[in-house]
Amino acid sequence: MKIAIIGAGAIGSTLAQRLAGAGHDVTIANSRAPETVDAAALSTGARAAWAADVTAGAEVVVVSVSLVQVPDVAAVVRSAPSDAVVVDTSNYYPQRDGVLPGFEDGDVESLWVQTRYGRPVAKAWNSVLAASFAEKGSAPGAAGRVALPVAADDDAHRATAMALVEDTGFDAVDAGALATSWRQQPGAPAYCTDLTAAELLPALAAAEASRSPLRRDLVGEVVTERAEAGGAITGDYLLALNRAVY
């Protein structure tokens, strides 16, 4: 498939590397010039492009930017072909994004994103730590293979996103409609806890909308305190912290 990736941070770069390595035609852009995209993102055949050009002819557009940047890239997303599948990997963190109206009252993040893009959105790859995504991909059927939830209102879009999740080395789990994607947002038991497919569905069902923001903020406070004290913030540390909170 012809895939455009908007955002070349840790998740976007790994996406480019994995999807190109799986045989897809991948183009990636950041907010700067193509030559500033990390070489590792291009190591399996992905190409760097200007943001204004990245969605040309794309069948799938994966947007991997922080939630506060969504309005900045909306015009680029809307420039994609009308039948392109749009996949959102963003998460809301008030410590990073500022307090945005509605989210503290339970608004679903990807429904807000969908409104900004004016396009149907699938939610995927938002619930995995950058370190886990880079290091824990494995072959189908591998023991302990980590699973990731995928939510969307359009069944065909969800199926496409799930197939691509599989191509990146993770089991894809159908998480239903976008309105219930709060079950894979920060603070939920399925968020960044590296669960298998058998473990992920019960974790999604166990999510509590009123408690997730409290857990999200608690994790943020602990991480901030550790960083200020000079402690290392590794993928293993974040995984253990997320599991402990849930």
SS3 116: helix
Question: In the numeric block, which tokens belong to residue 151?
Answer: 């939510």
Question: In the numeric block, which tokens belong to residue 102?
Answer: 């509605």
What confidence category does residue 78 fall into, taking pLDDT thresholds of 50, 70 and 90?
very high
Question: In the numeric block, which tokens belong to residue 139?
Answer: 């072959």
What pLDDT, on a 0 to 100 scale, did the predictor assign at position 101? 77
Q: How many other CB atoms are there within 10 angstroms of residue 50's CB atom? A: 13
- Among 165, 158, 161, smallest CA distance to 133 is for 165
3-class SS letters over 211-239: CHHHHHHHHHHHHHHHHHCCCCCCHHHHH
Q: How far apart are alpha carbons 74 and 6 in whole angstroms?
A: 10
Amino acid at site 143: A
What confidence category does residue 119 fall into, taking pLDDT thresholds of 50, 70 and 90?
very high
What pLDDT, on a 0 to 100 scale, did the predictor assign at position 41? 97
Asked if residue 100 has pLDDT above 90, the reply is no
Asked if residue 17 has pLDDT above 80, the reply is yes
pLDDT digits (tens, 9 = 90+) for 123-142: 999 999 999 999 999 999 99
Amino acid at site 43: S
Q: Is the dihedral of CA 175, 176, 180, 181 positive or negative?
A: positive
Q: How far apart are alpha carbons 242 and 131 in whole angstroms?
A: 14
SS3 242: helix
Asked if residue 18 has pLDDT above 90, the reply is yes
pLDDT digits (tens, 9 = 90+) for 151-180: 999 999 999 999 999 999 999 999 999 999
Percent of the chain with pLDDT over 70: 100
Question: In the numeric block, which tokens belong to residue 201?
Answer: 């569905």
Q: Is the dihedral of CA 133, 136, 141, 147 positive or negative?
A: negative
What pLDDT, on a 0 to 100 scale, did the predictor assign at position 124? 98
Asked if residue 186 has pLDDT above 90, the reply is yes
What pLDDT, on a 0 to 100 scale, did the predictor assign at position 105? 76
pLDDT digits (tens, 9 = 90+) for 201-214: 999 999 999 999 99
Domains belonging to the chain, first-starting first, are 2-245 (3.40.50.720)
Q: How far apart are alpha carbons 60 and 162 in whole angstroms?
A: 12
Q: What average pLDDT score do residues 64-70 get?
A: 95
pLDDT digits (tens, 9 = 90+) for 224-243: 999 999 999 999 999 999 99
